[in-house]
């Protein structure tokens, strides 16, 4: 019988435990798992047999389905998911409005950052001048001319 891999969410649903409980079981190595690298970090896929063994689940073979590890190709996953989700005009308008708000917020934060940067540069300039004044040699007294 091939070993079936399931996601953490599916494991939580099957065992009726929380996702955090499943993650703790993975961390303590109670569950057998496979780790796959993604651009955002790692995905953990759990062997279904291990889950059944640890939590005493009795699943019939009809409900078992094989889950392939997720591909690391982000664009292919987006194109697959985009086919299944109908997009309506209101959704698109909301998305555009959200993007516009993000752009406005980004510009405001950028302006604040530039103001902060200018202030810091001015303070550094003042501190450098003060440091140079402190390092400047003291004027010699009239009797130290020949030294």
What does each of the 147 residues of the chain score in pLDDT, given as a tens digit? 568 889 999 999 999 999 999 999 999 999 999 988 888 888 899 999 999 889 888 765 434 444 455 555 555 665 555 666 677 888 888 889 999 999 999 999 999 999 999 999 999 999 999 988 888 766 666 666 665
Nearest to 42 by CA among 84, 8, 77, 2: 8
What's 139's DSSP letter? P
Q: What is the pLDDT of residue 64?
A: 47
pTM: 0.41
For residue 3, give the 3-state DSSP assignment.
coil
Q: What is the CATH number that goes with domain 5-63?
A: 1.10.1660
Q: What is the pLDDT of residue 41?
A: 87
Burial class (CB in 10 A: 0-12, 13-18, 19+), 142: exposed
Q: What is the pLDDT of residue 67?
A: 46
The answer for residues whose C-beta is within 8 angstroms of residue 5's C-beta and 6 or more apart is 34, 45, 46, 47, 48, 66, 67, 68, 69
Q: What is the pLDDT of residue 103?
A: 94
């Amino acid at each position: 019988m091939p070993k079936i891999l399931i996601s953490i969410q599916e494991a939580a649903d099957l065992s009726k435990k929380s996702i955090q409980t499943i993650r703790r079981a993975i961390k303590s190595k109670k569950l057998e798992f496979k780790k796959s690298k993604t651009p955002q970090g790692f995905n953990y896929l759990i062997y279904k047999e291990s889950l059944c063994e640890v939590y005493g689940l009795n699943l019939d073979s009809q409900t078992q389905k094989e889950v392939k590890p997720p591909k690391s190709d982000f664009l292919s996953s987006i194109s697959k998911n985009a086919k299944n989700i109908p997009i309506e005009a209101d959704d698109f308008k909301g998305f555009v409005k959200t993007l516009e708000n993000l752009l406005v917020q980004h510009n405001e934060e950028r302006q604040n950052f530039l103001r902060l940067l200018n202030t810091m540069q001015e303070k550094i300039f003042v501190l450098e001048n003060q440091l140079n004044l402190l390092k400047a040699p003291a004027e010699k007294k009239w009797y130290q001319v020949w030294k």
